[in-house]
Amino acid sequence: MSSRWQIVGWAVILVGWLTASLTAQPPSTPITDASPEQLQQWLRQYPEADADGDGVLTVAEAEAYRQRLVAAHESGGWIGFRHEYTFATMSDGVRIALAVGYPRDFDPADSERRWSTIFRTSGYPGTVVPGNPAEFGDRYVIVHASIRGTGASGGVLSPWEPRTWQDGCEIIEDWIVRQPWSDGQVGIQGFSWPGLLGFLTASTQPPSLKAVCVGGLIDDFYRGICYPGGVLNCGFPVDWVNNFYLPDGVFGSDAVARQARGLDEATFRAIVQSRPMRDLTRDTLWLMLQKPLDDPLWREMSLSTYAPRIRAPILITHAWQDEQTGPTGWQLWNRLADDVPKRLVVGNGNHATCPQPLGGARAWFAHWLLGEPDEVTADPARRVEVYFESGIGTRRSVSQNPPLLAADFPLPQTQWTRYYLRNGHKLTTTPPNQHERSSRYRVTHSRSSAQDQQVHYLLDFDQPTVVCGPMVLTLWAELTTIDTDFFVLLADRAPDGRLYGLQRGLLRASHRTLDDQRSDWIDSTGQRLLIRPEHRHDLVQPVTPSQAVEYQIAIPAVGHVFRPGHQLALIISRPPSEDPIGVTDTGAASYRYASNPPPGAVRILQDAQHPSHLLLPLVPDLPTQANPVPLHQQTGLQPIGET
């Protein structure tokens, strides 16, 4: 979960971070001997090092970038604004390391002028060094805090426990607003890990917190990223938390702190030795390895548990195809109290190309922190911005069409429409007849794209059609064994037959028990309609072989325009080892599934008694778009094969 502000061009932070990271390599692993995997990791963290912009970082490019940053660091030019390193002491005595960036017009001798503050916190090296106030027009003081057990902070690393979030509250109330330059107005900003921790800090309700702007979120760690549908995701989540155990600190933050603060060995050793041993059985990685079922520990660390506590105005951004924090973070919007000023900005894209709101974060903070009037920010009828067909620019920049504006999400004008699975690989609004034949696919020990190991259905479009919102596949199936894993892929099939992945849903058959209260329902023509199923995942039961069973498979939300001549493709199979949605810049899969169901056959029923169907959220409105963006130029979308 690399923070967006770390990815898209903060040279100040990248110099400090990359210099420390690429100069701190052990002698046995110099850059010249870096593995392809290490180069891929560096590329994800430092895209500016990719000199030719081809999406592949070479050893020569990495070394050239390191040398450039080392030269900048040695010349003293890597932080070009007034800044300060200090500490804040928490109520339990732990000292948290702060890095403060002061705006261009800041004068410490001026006892009259007061400044609002933007606060960020995480365990990344990026929060070890000061943030550049120029990002927000030099209108705020920027305060960075390294969470416990990272950088130069003491205490035990525990990012998903209340003590860490309380630290954020205490920094705001007991340090920031007590500074002589503070006007008592604080905003929280962050994307990815800083966004997650910012959200949780906001849930502690600091009285001086007046605005929150976060994105790249995870609503439920178990369902949203670690065990989607009850199937272990042993890709990005495992790789990410493995960085908690690096010898030079969490994500290398210890090494960066020592260098940035100029700490001698004895001083820094004292900081490290002051950190108590932590209970590794509460680490996320241990939970992933040892807690395959939903558990109170999973709930305790999930943002959805704490969302109702947030009272400050909050803006959330989310990309449908986020390959790191996953597809479900937008659901926190519905967990927030409705009387809280809130805004949701969503669209196609990945972790590095998340959609940006009208006016950006600058407008949000200017309104809520500085009191500047802004009709767009304050308009309750425009709380939601949905972007369609955002295009890929250069160097990760994104071209955005005008958004569709609404008061809520899912969009109030949504037409929830059932499309039935029918013979001939068709999806149609006409229900099946009594004698409709079933479809069938095989599950084997070997994973392949062989036609007999999947089934597909197609829906034709003769005019532009907007699908926007969560989807549900109601699947009637018979197994020849007692369990299996379903993988449901939604794609846009171009006229040339090429598929572009839009979204996917997973479900382990034995985890099929629905959590009726936590699922999302709406009233549709007087009937209760399930639009987002949520399963128990703590109550599992085998499947009786050769017995028809109904499964409700959630497909996370997406917003997409199907153009004339294109088709919606629905593909059902066992999970692939590598997820085709949200792959990294290098083409490598970000999510990998530990799915090893017993071999057998899955028979999909699609007759009148067992009407398998796909519920689609159709939207009649589409903002005027002068130049529709081709699929291969839409950010977040990638070709995944043909059918």
Could you report the per-residue pLDDT of 485-528, keeping only the tens digit for each?
A: 999 999 999 999 999 999 999 999 999 999 999 999 999 888 89
- Model confidence at 434: pLDDT above 70: yes
Is there a single domain that holds both residue 152 and residue 122?
Answer: yes
Cβ partners under 8 Å of residue 475, min gap 6: 486, 488, 550, 551, 552, 553, 572, 604, 612
pLDDT single digits (tens) 586-603? 677 899 999 999 999 999
Query: Does pLDDT of 168 surpass 90?
Result: yes
- Quick one: 461 and 539 in the same domain? yes
Q: What is the CATH number of the domain that holds 624?
A: 2.60.120.260
Alpha-carbon distances of 393 from 214, 390, 608, 635, rounded to whole Å? 23, 9, 48, 8
Asked if the model's pLDDT at residue 393 lies above 70, the reply is no
The answer to whether residue 2 scores a pLDDT higher than 90 is no
Model confidence at 432, pLDDT cuts 50, 70, 90, reads very high
pLDDT of 62 > 90? The answer is no
The domain that holds 105 is classified in CATH as 3.40.50.1820
Would you say 194 and 217 are in contact if contact means Cβ atoms under 8 Å apart? no
Q: Are residues 331 and 452 in the same domain?
A: no
Opening angle at CA 592, ends 30 and 229, nearest 5: 145
79-88, 204-213, 543-552, 625-634: the lowest-pLDDT one: 625-634
Residue 233 lies in a domain: no
How many structural domains are present in the chain? Answer: 3
| Across 425-454, average pLDDT | 90
Domain holding 463, by residue range, is: 415-642
Summarised one tens digit per residue, pLDDT across range 458-468 is 999 999 999 99
- Domain presence at residue 285: no
Task: Kindly report, residue by residue over 468-492, the tens digit of the pLDDT.
Answer: 999 999 999 999 999 999 999 999 9
Q: Are residues 629 and 498 in the same domain?
A: yes
Is the confidence at residue 89, as pLDDT, over 90?
yes
User: What's the pLDDT tens digit per position in 70-83?
Assistant: 654 444 445 789 99
Q: What is the three-class DSSP state of 284?
A: helix
Q: What is the spatial distance between Cα 86 and Cα 145, in angstroms, rounded to a whole number?
A: 10
Q: Give percent above pLDDT 70 in the chain.
A: 89
Decide: pTM greater than 0.85. yes
Q: Is 473 left (phi over 0), alpha (psi -120 to 50) or beta?
A: beta
List the single range of 10-14, 259-263, 309-313, 415-419 with lowest mean pLDDT.
10-14
From 74, 93, 114, the end of a domain falls on 74
**HEC profile of 448-488:** CCCHHHEEEEEEECCCCEEEEEEEEEEEEEEECCCCCEEEE
**Residues paired with residue 465 on neighbouring β-strands, in sequence order:** 562
- pLDDT bucket at 377, cuts 50 / 70 / 90: confident
Chain-wide mean pLDDT for the chain?
89
620 and 589 together in one domain? yes
Q: Among 147-151, 443-447, 463-467, which is the least confidently predicted range?
A: 443-447
Q: Which residues pair with 317 in a beta bridge?
A: 215, 345
For the chain, what percent of residues have pLDDT higher than 90?
A: 77
In this structure, the answer to whether residues 113 and 180 fall within a common structural domain is yes
Contact 532, 615 (CB under 8 A): no
Judgement on whether residues 484 and 628 belong to the same structural domain of the protein = yes
